[in-house]
Amino acid sequence: MTAVQPASDDPAVAPSMNDVARRAGVSLGTVSHVLNKPEIVSAKTIARVAAAIDELGFVRNDAARSLAAGRSNTVGLILTDVGNSLFVDIARGAEGAASSAGRSLLLANSDVTFQKQESYLDIFDEARVAGIILAPLDAGLDGVDRVRRHGRNIVLVNYAGDRTDCCSVVVDEEHGGYLAATHLMDIGRSRLLFAGGPEDLHAVNARREGARRAVRERGNGVSLEVIPSRNLKSASGRSIARQLLDDGALPDGILAPADQLAAGLIHELTDAGVSVPGDVAVIGYDNNQFASEAAIPMSTVSQPGHEMGEEALRLLLDEIDNPRSHEHRRITLDPSLIVRRSTVSR
C-alpha cells in the first residue's frame, strides 16, 4: 500500500485525470462529471472512478480547473493585522462559512501596510479567485475599483468608507463609543478622558463622537477631555498616562479606542500607585484575546468578529452564485459592552 518514495532524480508527478480515466476504463469527461456533477453519473461508474482516484492518489489540478471553468473555487480574505484578534475572529467566521459552502479560504495579511494590501489584491486577482473579502485600511480603496473592473467580486469588512457599490459588513463604531461612555457614567464617573488614537482614523473618530453624544445626552456635570496619540499601541497608552501623572490632574474614567492602548494606560497608572478601577476606571475597545487574561481583566467594547466574517462570506457567495439577482447591501452589526474589573471591582 505504501507508495515508494521516488528517487530524487525521478521527480514525482501528480497523476492526471487522464490517468484516472484510463485506469477506470472510462473517458476523461466522465471522470470530470464524477467530480463535478456526480448526480448525472451512474453509481457503478462513480465507484469505479472513485477507486481509480484512490489508487492513484489523484488530486485535481486546480490551475487547469480554474482556467477551463473560468473561475476558481477559492475565496481570498485580506486582513489588516493578524496580530489583532478581532481579525483572527473574522477569519474564523469566514472560514467556517466557507467550508460549509464547500469553498476554500486563503488568507493574506496586509500588516497595516497599504502597499501590501494592494499587492495582495493583485495576487488574488491574478489567481482569479471567486471573490475577495477585504478588511481595508483607511488609506484608500483604489484597489477595489481595479479588481472589480476585472469582474472580481469583492466584499468589504470592518470598514467601507461611503461605498455603496459593493457589499460590506461593518460595526456601528459610533454606538461603541456611546456604550463605553455610558458605562463609565453609569458607574458614577464624571471626569472622562477619551485617550489616544490618531485623529485621522475613521473608527477612532466615530468612537469619540459616540462618547461625545453620550455625554451630551446625559448632560449635567460630566466632562469629556480628548488626548490624541500617534497610534493605538501600548506605548502610546503609557505615554498618555505619564502625561496625566505629571499634570497631576487625573480623570476618573478613561475610554481608550483600543485594548492595547488601554493596557499601556492601566499598566503605567497602577505602577504609579493609582488604583484601577478605584481611582480611575479604564475601558478598552476590541475585546482582544489578552483583555480577559490581564491581571486586571479589562472592560471593553466587543466587536462581533466571528459574525462579521460569516456575514461577509455569505454576502460574497450570494454575489458569486446569483450575479443577476444580487443586490449590494451593507450590514451593520452592533458592538457590545463587556464589563470586567478595570471598571467595576468585585
Partner DNA sequence: CTGAAAGCGCTTACAG
What are the residues binding DNA (CB under 7 A)? Answer: 13-14, 16-18, 25-30, 32-33, 35-36, 40-42, 44-45, 58, 60-61, 64-65, 67-70
CB of 37 to DNA, least distance (A): 8
Near a second copy by CB under 8 A: residue from 1, 7, 39, 57: 57
Interface with a second copy, residue 322, by CB under 8 A: no
41 touches, from DNA, a second copy, none (C-beta below 5 to 8 Å by class): DNA
How many angstroms separate the CA atoms of 106 and 72, rounded?
12
How many angstroms separate the CA atoms of 252 and 254, rounded?
7
CB of 154 to DNA, least distance (A): 20
16 touches, from DNA, a second copy, none (C-beta below 5 to 8 Å by class): DNA
Q: Which is nearer to DNA, 102 or 278 (CB)?
A: 102
Q: Which is nearer to DNA, 61 or 292 (CB)?
A: 61
Q: Which is nearer to DNA, 102 or 248 (CB)?
A: 102
Cα R_g (the chain), whole angstroms = 26
Interface with a second copy, residue 190, by CB under 8 A: no
How many angstroms separate the CA atoms of 332 and 75, rounded?
22
For residue 53, CA distances in Å to 19, 199, 266 come to 9, 58, 59
Among all chains, which residue has been given the C-alpha cell 477551463?
68
Cβ atoms 177, 215 nearer than 8 A: no
How many angstroms separate the CA atoms of 94 and 317, rounded?
11
Cβ atoms 277, 269 nearer than 8 A: no
CB of 3 to a second copy, least distance (A): 5
Near a second copy by CB under 8 A: residue from 42, 51, 55, 83: 83
**What part of residues 192-251 is at the interface with a second copy (CB under 8 A)?**
234
How many angstroms separate the CA atoms of 57 and 123, rounded?
29
